[in-house]
Amino acid sequence: MQYFLKVFILIMINKGMEFTKAEFPFQAQMPLSFRNVSKSYGKNVAVKGLNIEIKNGEKVALLGENGAGKSTTLKIISGLMRPDAGYVRIYGQLPSSLSAKQHIGYLPEDPSPYLNLSVRENLEYIGAIRQTRNLETRVDDLIYHLQLKNYEKQKPLSLSRGNKQKLCLALSIIHEPSFCVMDEPLNYLDIPTQEIIFQYFESMNSSFIISTHILSIARRLTERIIIISSGTKIWDGKLAELEEMERTGKSMENVVSELMKNVP
């Protein structure tokens, strides 16, 4: 299995990976149109009439308590789950379409790389499937910037949780996506590594929607905040607006907590 995998990767690298990402005639459209979307698991409503729109270049944080519907929302956006009702488009295309998936970089909450492949092999394999241009250079770049050089020949089971998370982050952006959909991307990362990720994300020319329950992460990575509770949007605005509320003498955590509690 690994022999044939390596042959496949080498063929792709030797070809130079001169694939072209689908060029949308609708690139001027928004990365995300998410209108009146609902999703239930049996009798449990996870998302209810939710509306989100993200413009090109926007970085948005999705906040909410446990069970608020954040992960379900991101799964619907990424095309892994169909809504029961509503309209969802990625650059004007269905999330499940190949043309949309070529532009999405999705990181689930508990990601798992291929356990029988090394760090480098994981990146080469997913990069080849993702038709990444200049694959070898891209793999080297991610290994260097995410400080995985000392682990590139190791398999995921021998990695710490933090290094495994860095690998999964690299896998989600190997193809240089224009729209990143990330569920708790800084899980298990120490403070110096978080700073590395902050800086790397800031250098990317991509739109983001990031689910988190940690306000300090939302403040560093995004400029717009959407708060949901019980699958419903209860607040949507600029980070600066929350910071203005903070000046009333309450911490931002207090402000957000009160917004969540005051749901009708």
Question: What is the reported pLDDT for 24?
Answer: 42
- Give the pLDDT confidence of 11-21 residue by residue, as tens digits: 454 444 433 44
The rounded mean pLDDT for the chain is: 88
Half-sphere exposure of 150 (CA within 13 A, CB side): 5
pLDDT at 261 over 80: no
pLDDT at 3 over 50: no
> In sequence order, what are the residues at sequence separation of 6 or more whose Cβ sits closer than 8 angstroms to the Cβ of residue 39?
45, 46, 47, 69, 72, 76, 81, 83, 84, 231
* DSSP letter, residue 90: B
Specify the domain boundaries for CATH 3.40.50.300 within the chain: 32-103+179-201+209-264
Find the mean pLDDT for residues 64-83. 95
Question: What is the reported pLDDT for 19?
Answer: 37
Find the mean pLDDT for residues 212-230. 90
* Percent of the chain clearing pLDDT 90 (strictly above): 73
pLDDT at 222 over 80: yes
pLDDT at 4 over 50: no
**Per CATH, which fold does 32-103+179-201+209-264 belong to?**
Rossmann fold (3.40.50)
Strand ranges (E), 95-175: 104-107
* Percent of the chain clearing pLDDT 70 (strictly above): 88
Specify the residue for token string 């309450």. 250
pTM: 0.87
In 10 A of CB 20, how many CB atoms? 8
Find the mean pLDDT for residues 237-253. 81
